[in-house]
Amino acid sequence: DGGITQSPKYLFRKEGQNVTLSCEQNLNHDAMYWYRQDPGQGLRLIYYSQIVNDFQKGDIAEGYSVSREKKESFPLTVTSAQKNPTAFYLCASSIGAGVAYEQYFGPGTRLTVT
Amino acid sequence: AQKVTQAQTEISVVEKEDVTLDCVYETRDTTYYLFWYKQPPSGELVFLIRRNSFDEQNEISGRYSWNFQKSTSSFNFTITASQVVDSAVYFCALSEANYGGSQGNLIFGKGTKLSVKP
């Protein structure tokens, strides 16, 4: 089945630790995205990548880092510099980077930092 | 300024009632797309529909219908004869041709939580 996988579904970390969230897609999509969702809020864009080896900051990139070494993979690292890392993180992909393309989402990772 | 407004934070209906979810957007672009996504309790967003700015025809898909009106900058979503399985958070989103220099990035509303009771 084609789709987007995110692992793990729940993640717990101690404050001050970096943590990497996995996102893999087998849809052969060029573009990939990371969003953050807080309770009662819409999704906010953290980073996006339109093509392999290239990525751009979204609206709330501070405290996060990404890499795009393979078309299928777009891992997100939540660093200790992120002040409020506890949130629900969603990865998405689209066929291309353009205004017309719908994005398909993974199941999300719920990160709790204490 | 908020670009996508979903004024209804929560709606509760009884099964078989019709319900309309409102979405108002703001953009200066002439070329843009509007989307609706459903987020069930499992958390994954499910794509429902895409509409471009040049197509104001209403769309119907089963019990779902969408009303796009450029004159009022609205893209409302109606569920006819609601069912318990429709319970979810619904997001409206906008994609502008020239948003932040990056085409295709979605701007989401804050969502409307729909609860359908049996």
Q: Please state, rounded to an integer, the average pLDDT across all residues of chain B.
A: 92
- Tokens encoding A101: 């393309």
Q: pLDDT tens across B14-68, in order? A: 999 999 999 999 998 888 999 999 999 999 999 999 999 998 888 899 999 999 9
What is d(CA B113, CA A67) in angstroms, rounded to the nearest whole number? 34
Query: Are residues B108 and A101, on separate chains, in Cβ contact within 8 Å?
Result: no
Q: pLDDT tens across A21-61, in order? A: 999 999 999 999 999 999 888 899 999 999 999 999 998 99
**Going by C-beta distance under 8 Å and a sequence separation of 6 or more, which residues neighbour residue B79?**
B18, B19, B20, B21, B63, B64, B86, B114
The angle formed by the CA atoms of residues A103, A21 and A18, to the nearest 5 degrees, is 140
A56 to chain B: which residues are within 8 Å by CB? 102
What is d(CA B112, CA B44) in angstroms, rounded to the nearest whole number? 15
Query: Are residues A48 and B47, on separate chains, in Cβ contact within 8 Å?
Result: no
**Going by C-beta distance under 8 Å and a sequence separation of 6 or more, which residues neighbour residue B71?**
none
Q: pLDDT tens across B93-102, in order? A: 999 876 555 5
What is d(CA A57, CA A72) in angstroms, rounded to the nearest whole number? 19
Contact B106, B94 (CB under 8 A): yes
Q: Of A22-26, A74-78, A96-100, B41-45, which range is least confident?
A: A96-100
Name the residue facing B104 among A97, A104, A108 (closest C-beta): A97
